[in-house]
């Protein structure tokens, strides 16, 4: 019996109990959330995964995406990235390779981590078509569904699937146009295939068949955002909203069929539109878990896009987004290094925490840090820090003459001076 069926029958599974303990909520809260489609717990019948609850009333989770490209296809580097992402505290991982031996890369990444690993089966289907037949537009529909099942059996237990792209969506895109073009690889692949073949997206037209595969292999369906904006001037446009509306309707069908479902959100959004996007997404999807891609709040900071996305992610989380896809400093420039993967995860974890301070009222860690700083208790400060290793290393490099203080203030440490006279 799958999680949704169990939840609807009032059965609390071990996975639900684990999430309840992690989150400090009741087991029945988690069960009801799954039954109503507001919470998902990605699991797999093919491998043990670190249990992670995503959705309403739970801490905001962070996903790290890795994967090769046609220019750089180094399996060992991708394995290192997977381990770096887990070490940095990512909650899930997505393997999105487009270069090299796609099956072997995914196998090695899945073996390297205990995290839930996501994928985009559409990538492999289109790339295999390009390699065999010379162009992505020659992709065979049966291959797309076959590869989806194969990836599930290989242990990828949540999948971004571009269900909301159909001819109505493409009409909206064509009629309005775009300042930043179409930046989703999955969206571009599927759009090209549909227009060349003059056929409907099989992930939309054969949605019931897709759900059979998802349910058989206990895959969590993440409804892809192929029409996401790649520039802030395209945020919240007609193509994006059209795709969202389609995905919202399909998400209800998915949950009714017993498939856990997440709905993905747009990529580049100015800060004054973030709240509207979160409210709209939550409202039209009946409260399904919202996976926010970024969002990037300005387009002029290449090399610092992890910080740009952290601003957007913090706001998104505070307004109700449940799941954040990290961005690395090399976004828009190059394939990220393992070190940049680590930095991207840390930036997004900070953003998720900042959002949870508002959304969940979770401020105990910040209070603990305030007390530790007041008391000049350095070990407590390191213990509470989001990256204790870096905090400890910076202090060690520039140790002060007075071990109670830091080299910012030295002899004139405000806390040390006032602590002689007050007991706070």
Which domains does the chain show, CATH number per domain? 59-359 (3.20.20.540), 364-419 (no CATH)
Cβ–Cβ < 8 Å for 129, 102: no
- Dihedral pair phi/psi, residue 255, rounded to 5°: -65, -40
Q: Are 110 and 95 in contact (CB under 8 A)?
A: yes
The residues pairing with 290 across neighbouring beta strands, listed in sequence order, are 263
Q: Which two tokens stand for residue 342?
A: 């680590």
Whole-number pLDDT of residue 1: 67
Successive 10-residue mean pLDDT values, the chain, 424 residues: 94 98 98 98 97 98 98 98 98 98 98 98 98 97 98 97 98 96 96 98 98 98 96 97 98 98 96 98 98 96 98 98 98 98 98 98 96 95 97 94 90 86 82
Task: Single out the residue of 192, 199, 201, 117 nearest to residue 160, CA to CA.
Answer: 117
With beta carbons less than 8 A apart as the criterion, state whether 223 and 161 touch: yes
Q: List the structure tokens of 249.
A: 């309707």
pLDDT for the residue 416: 85
Which residue matches tokens 């039209």? 284
This prediction's pTM: 0.96
- The pLDDT, as a whole number, for residue 306 is 98
User: What token pair was written down for 160?
Assistant: 């971004």
Are 147 and 119 in contact by the 8 Å Cβ rule? The answer is no
């Amino acid at each position: 019996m799958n999680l949704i069926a169990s939840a609807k029958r009032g059965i609390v599974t071990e996975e639900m109990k684990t999430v309840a303990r992690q989150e400090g909520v009741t087991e029945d809260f988690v069960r009801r959330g799954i039954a109503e489609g507001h919470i998902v717990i990605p699991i797999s019948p093919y491998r043990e995964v670190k249990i992670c609850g995503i959705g309403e009333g739970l801490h905001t989770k962070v996903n790290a995406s890795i994967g090769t490209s046609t220019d750089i296809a180094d399996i060992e580097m991708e394995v290192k990235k997977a381990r770096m992402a887990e070490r940095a505290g990512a909650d899930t991982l997505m393997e999105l390779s487009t270069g090299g031996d796609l099956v072997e890369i995914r196998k090695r990444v899945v073996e390297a981590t205990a995290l839930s690993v996501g994928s985009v089966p559409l990538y492999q289907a289109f790339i295999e078509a390009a390699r065999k037949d010379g162009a992505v537009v020659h992709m065979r529909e049966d291959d797309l569904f076959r590869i989806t099942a194969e990836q599930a059996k290989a242990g990828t237990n949540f999948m971004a699937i571009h269900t909301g792209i159909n001819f109505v969506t493409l009409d909206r895109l064509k009629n309005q146009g775009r300042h930043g073009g179409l930046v989703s690889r999955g969206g571009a692949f599927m759009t090209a295939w549909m227009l060349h073949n003059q056929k409907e997206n099989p992930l939309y037209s054969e949605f019931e068949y897709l759900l059979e595969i998802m349910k058989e292999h206990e895959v969590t369906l993440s409804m892809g955002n192929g029409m996401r904006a790649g520039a802030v001037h395209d945020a919240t446009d007609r193509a994006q909203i059209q795709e969202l509306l389609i995905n919202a309707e399909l998400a209800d069908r998915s949950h009714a069929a017993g498939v856990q479902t997440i709905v993905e959100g747009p990529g580049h959004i100015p800060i004054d539109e973030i709240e509207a996007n979160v409210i709209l997404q939550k409202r039209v999807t009946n409260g399904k878990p919202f996976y926010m891609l970024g969002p990037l709040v300005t387009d002029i900071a290449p090399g610092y896009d992890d910080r740009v996305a952290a601003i957007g992610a913090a706001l998104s989380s505070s307004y109700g987004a449940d799941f954040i896809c990290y961005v690395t400093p090399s976004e828009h420039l190059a394939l990220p290094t393992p070190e940049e993967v680590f930095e991207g995860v840390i930036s997004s974890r900070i953003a998720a925490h900042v959002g949870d301070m508002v959304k969940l009222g979770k401020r105990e860690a910040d209070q603990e840090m305030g007390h530790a700083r007041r008391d000049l208790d350095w070990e407590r400060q390191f213990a509470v820090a989001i990256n204790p290793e870096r905090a400890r290393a910076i202090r060690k490099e520039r140790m002060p003459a007075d071990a109670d203080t830091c080299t910012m203030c030295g002899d004139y440490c405000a806390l040390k001076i006032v602590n002689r006279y007050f007991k706070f």
